[in-house]
Amino acid sequence: MATDFAVSLRRFLTDHLAGLRGCSPNTIVSYRDTFKLLICYFRDERSIPPERLTLELIDIAAVTGFLTWLRTSRHNSPSTCNQRLAAISSFYSWLQSQDPARMACCQDILAIPSSKHDRPAVAHLTVEQTRLLLALPDRSTRQGRRDATLLATLYDTAARVQDRTSAEVGHTNARKRACEQGLCRLRRDLPVCLQIPGYSAAGVKS
């Protein structure tokens, strides 16, 4: 018979994250990986196999020990540990509404502070540097038009590289049709990259 932790975790990942909240597959995978590590921690450090891991065993001391294990044994950075803690906190924030008898334990875990760390300064390209970057691909070739389209789309949408690499042809066609119908706003030279008739290049927006 499945443990209460196993049942709750399945409901959280499938019914809550994927169903109710509609989280992206990448988010769900990140949360899943956090709990895979937590299960490994209990198995390897506390000699508790997955089939015996229950909610009662996962308290504030266990979660704190797990975070310490990530830093010392797996050499995870503070930002990575904070991501793992955020996934666990999301689970217990959901759990306290599902099992009110465990609210106190849930709130103890939710009170665990994030690790403090220095945030590196983010360097941004200037407008002129962006123009030069977008002008690099040779648009007289098929590969150059492809590269120009990817660069311009990333710039225009501020999308992550992962979002673009997982995109399919239908996604581009849908955005192209939306632009033609005036349903979305693109910078003026992006339709040129997508070869939409009736547009002319006008540079990068300032």
| Range with the poorest average pLDDT among 1-10, 123-132, 191-200 | 191-200
pLDDT tens, position by position, 46-104: 999 999 999 999 999 999 999 999 999 999 999 999 999 999 999 999 999 999 999 99
- Average of per-residue pLDDT across 100-115: 94
Report the pLDDT value the prediction gives residue 199, as an integer from 0 to 100: 41
Q: Taking the chain, what is the end-to-end CA distance rounded to the nearest angstrom?
A: 61
Structural domains for the chain: 4-110 (1.10.150), 127-193 (no CATH)
Distance CA 197, CA 144 (A): 19
Report the pLDDT value the prediction gives residue 10, as an integer from 0 to 100: 95
Report the pLDDT value the prediction gives residue 183, as an integer from 0 to 100: 42
| Residue tagged 């299960």 (tokens) | 39
pLDDT tens, position by position, 116-146: 765 666 677 788 888 888 888 888 888 888 8
Between 134 and 156, residue with greater pLDDT: 134
Nearest of 150, 176, 173 to residue 163 by alpha carbon: 150
pLDDT tens, position by position, 7-23: 999 999 999 998 888 88
